Amino acid sequence: MGQSRKLRRTLRGIVIFLSLSLFGSGSYAAYLMIIKPITTTVDKIGATTTGKEIDEVTDVEVEAVKPISLLLLGIDNRPESGSLNSDIIMVATLNPETKSATIVSLPRDSHLSPGKGLPSRKANYYYPYFHNKEKLTAYKHTRDLFGNFFQIPIDAAVSVDFDGFRKMVDELGGVDIDVPMNMRYVDNADGTNINLKKGPQTLNGKQALDYVRYRKSNMGTAESSDTERNKRQHEVIDQMLGKVFSLGGVMKLNKLMEIAGDHVQTDIPASKLLDFFQKYIGIDRSKIQYISLEGEWISPFIELSQEEIEQARQALKDTLEGKTATPQTSEDGSNVSSATTTPAPGTRP
């Protein structure tokens, strides 16, 4: 029984990791090197499962190629933190016909008032709230909440924990980042010890996690905004995808899949995961619009701009409806079409 559950977790991890990487490649070469071998492997070990580790699995239809929306969560489940806070919250819409996608990053401290008997709290409060009430339905209720906020139906949720992110970066040999400033922060309560120096360098898994998490400082270095942190997350994801789809990355896929099997979860049924990946791998990286919502810090919350919220909602809907955004170019050359956006990976000036 234990081996069967481990097998299901590994199978799930194989396809979730690759489906998360759909933003990294739409090439036929990727199909030959990755999807075809994975299909063969799945056939050998058995793609069907019985029983459910998540009670409310999504009924997302992947048999037909159609636009889809996803909730993406980065979960802090470190034993030292004693929490399940979702430090990274993104909503993505993907359209396989236009080969485009929109990804909206929501600051974790955003002030939300969802109503329906739910308390008014920070955005990262709700996943652990639902998880603590009923673990098996946490994804469904969290999807519904953020779907109501962005006024779109969210078809499925995918989460990765901090330890999985760190291990993946280490397995890929680190990420090459030009750190824009010194970053220093210590929290003895949960073991956080961020100590990054300004300048170009290769960050290991722990350092990359520190880089995407850094915001506050208690050691004299400059602080960072949530928007800057969201942009750093996009930067590291871009680096990881580039390495995954390099020859060296492909050679490491087995280990990466093993890591994903232990640290990534979704409410997409295992029987549909491979089909999901095959349907949505063709997204064009140059047609991915990244949007980082901004707001005003009014302790203890970030109060989001209603105008930016409406712009983000419209951008997500436009992708689902097959409308292509017409980017405007900011002074730094990045693509801007609504709220605060950054260009797709691979299209930086």
Answer yes or no: is pLDDT of 156 > 50.
yes
What are 299-320's pLDDT values in tens digits? 999 999 999 999 999 999 999 9
CATH number of the 2-164+235-342 domain: 3.40.630.190
- Is the fold of 2-164+235-342 the same as that of 168-234? yes
Reported pTM: 0.79
Q: Lay out the sheet containing 288-292: strands in order across.
A: 264-266, 156-161, 68-76, 85-95, 100-105, 288-292, 340-342
pLDDT at position 312 is 97
Residues 269 and 266: their CA atoms lie apart, in Å, by 8
CATH number of the 168-234 domain: 3.40.630
Residues 277 and 253: their CA atoms lie apart, in Å, by 15
What are 267-277's pLDDT values in tens digits? 887 777 777 77
User: Which range has the worst mean pLDDT, 19-33, 116-130, 198-212?
Assistant: 19-33
Q: What residue spans define the domains of the chain?
A: 2-164+235-342, 168-234
- Angstrom distances, CA of residue 143 to CA of 130, 154, 285: 11, 6, 25
pLDDT at position 310 is 98
Answer yes or no: is pLDDT of 328 > 50.
no
Measured from the Cβ of residue 251, the count of other Cβ atoms closer than 10 Å reads: 10
Residues 197 and 200: their CA atoms lie apart, in Å, by 9
Q: How is 59-128 classified by DSSP, letter by letter? A: ----SS---EEEEEEEEE--TTTT--EEEEEEEEEEETTTTEEEEEE--TTBEE---TT---EEGGGHHH
Residues 80 and 193: their CA atoms lie apart, in Å, by 13
The residue type of 47 is A
DSSP SS3 for 1: coil
Two tokens, residue 110: 């955003």
Two tokens, residue 264: 């990534």
pLDDT at position 254 is 74
DSSP SS3 for 18: helix
pLDDT category of residue 18 using cuts at 50, 70 and 90: low
Let me know: does 99 contact 311? Beta carbons within 8 Å: no
Most confident of 49-53, 58-62, 178-182, 331-335: 178-182
Residues 205 and 185: their CA atoms lie apart, in Å, by 17
